[in-house]
Amino acid sequence: MSKQTFLKASTVLMVLFVASRVLGFVREQVIAALLGTTLQSDAFVVAATIPFTLSTIIGTSAGNALLPLYTDRLQDDKRAYLASTVLYIVGALVAVLALLGMIFTPLVVDLLAPGFTGEARRTALLCTQIMLPSTVFLTMGFIAKAVLNAHREYAVPAMAPVWQNVIFILLVFPLGGLLGPGLAWCTLAGALVFYLYNLPAMVRFGIPWRPLLNTGDPDVRRVLLMSIPVILTTLANRGFIFVDRWFGSHLVEGSIAALNFANRIRELPYGLFVAVVSSVLFPALAAAVKRRDGRLLRDRTAMGLRLVALVTYPSITLLVVLAVPVVRLLFERGAFDATATAATAMALGYYAFSVAAMSASSVLTYTFLSMRDALLPLWGGLAGLVVNILLDYLLVDRMGHAGLALGNTVGSFVTAALFLLFLYRRLPGFDWTRQFVDQLKIVAATLVFAGVLWLVSGYAGLFNAHLSLLEQLLGMVLAVGAAGIAYLVLLILLNVEETAPLRQKFIK
Q: Is a pLDDT exceeding 90 seen at residue 456? A: yes
Q: Per residue in 246-304, pLDDT tens?
A: 787 777 777 877 888 888 888 887 766 777 677 677 777 877 877 777 788 888 888 88
Local structure of residue 465 (DSSP, 8 states): T
Q: Report, in angstroms and rounded to the nearest whole number, the Rg of the chain calculated over CA atoms.
A: 22
Given this model, what pLDDT does residue 444 score?
94
Answer with the residue of higher pLDDT: 279 or 358: 358
pLDDT band at 34 (very low <50, low <70, confident <90, very high): low
In this predicted structure, the answer to whether residue 448 has a pLDDT above a threshold of 60 is: yes
Lowest mean pLDDT among 216-220, 353-357, 453-457: 216-220
Q: pLDDT over 90 for what percent of the chain?
A: 21
pLDDT reported for residue 443: 94
Asked whether 24 and 161 are in contact (CB, 8 A), the reply is yes
Which of 119-133, 234-248, 405-419 is predicted most confidently? 405-419
Segment 365-379 shows an average pLDDT of 81
Q: What pLDDT score was predicted for residue 350?
A: 92
How many percent of the chain have pLDDT more than 70? 88
Cβ atoms of 448 and 490 closer than 8 Å: yes
Between CA 367 and CA 373 the distance in angstroms is 9
Split at pLDDT 50, 70, 90, the class of 3 is low
Contact between 184 and 126 (Cβ < 8 Å): yes
> In what helix (H) or strand (E) does residue 44 lie, and over which residues does it extend?
helix 39-72
pLDDT computed for residue 175 by the predictor: 75
The length of the chain, given as a count of residues: 508
Dihedral angle of Cα 449, 451, 455, 456, to the nearest 10 degrees: 0
Contact, 369 vs 377, CB < 8 A? yes
More confident residue, 190 or 238: 190
Cα 241 from Cα 263, distance rounded (Å): 9
pLDDT band at 320 (very low <50, low <70, confident <90, very high): very high
List of residues 6+ apart from 464 with CB closer than 8 A: none
Return the pLDDT at 317. Answer: 94
Q: What is the pLDDT of residue 38?
A: 65
The predicted structure's pLDDT at residue 39? 67
CA–CA dist 235, 359 (Å, integer)? 16
Q: What is the pLDDT of residue 445?
A: 94
Which of 27-36, 249-258, 444-453 has the highest average model confidence (pLDDT)? 444-453
Degrees to nearest 5, angle at CA 136 with 150 and 68 = 20
| CA quadruple 16, 19, 22, 24: dihedral, nearest 10 | -70
Residue 505's pLDDT band, with cuts at 50, 70 and 90, is: low
- Per-residue pLDDT for 467 more than 80? yes
Question: Residue 74 to residues 78, 254, 304: CA-CA distances in angstroms?
Answer: 9, 49, 24
Q: How many of the other CB atoms lie within 10 Å of CB of 214? A: 13
Work out the widest C-alpha separation in the chain, in whole angstroms: 70
Q: 184-206 burial, b if ≥16 CB within 10 A, otherwise e?
A: bbbbbbbbbbbbbbbbebbeeee
pLDDT digits 0-9 by tens, 394-413: 998 888 888 999 999 999 99
DSSP-derived secondary structure for 135-193 = HHHHHHHHHHHHHHHHTT--HHHHHHHHHHHHHHHHHHHHHGGG-HHHHHHHHHHHHHH
- Cβ neighbourhood burial of 223 (10 Å; 0-12, 13-18, 19+): buried
Residues 446, 457: Cα–Cα separation, whole Å: 16
- Please report the pLDDT score of residue 37 as a whole number: 58
Three-class DSSP category at 333 = coil
Q: What is the C-alpha to C-alpha distance for residues 115 and 213, in angstroms, rounded to an integer? A: 45
In this model, does residue 374 exceed pLDDT 80?
no
- Mean pLDDT, the chain, integer: 83
- How much is the average pLDDT of 206-230? 82
Burial classification of residue 13, based on how many CB atoms lie within 10 Å of its CB (0-12 exposed, 13-18 middle, 19 or more buried): buried
**Rounded distance, CA 227 to CA 214, Å?**
18
Out of 68-77, 403-412, 452-461, least confident range: 68-77
Instruction: Read off the pLDDT band of 124 (50, 70, 90).
Output: confident
Average confidence (pLDDT) over 217-227: 83
Q: For residue 166, what pLDDT band results from cuts at 50, 70 and 90?
A: confident
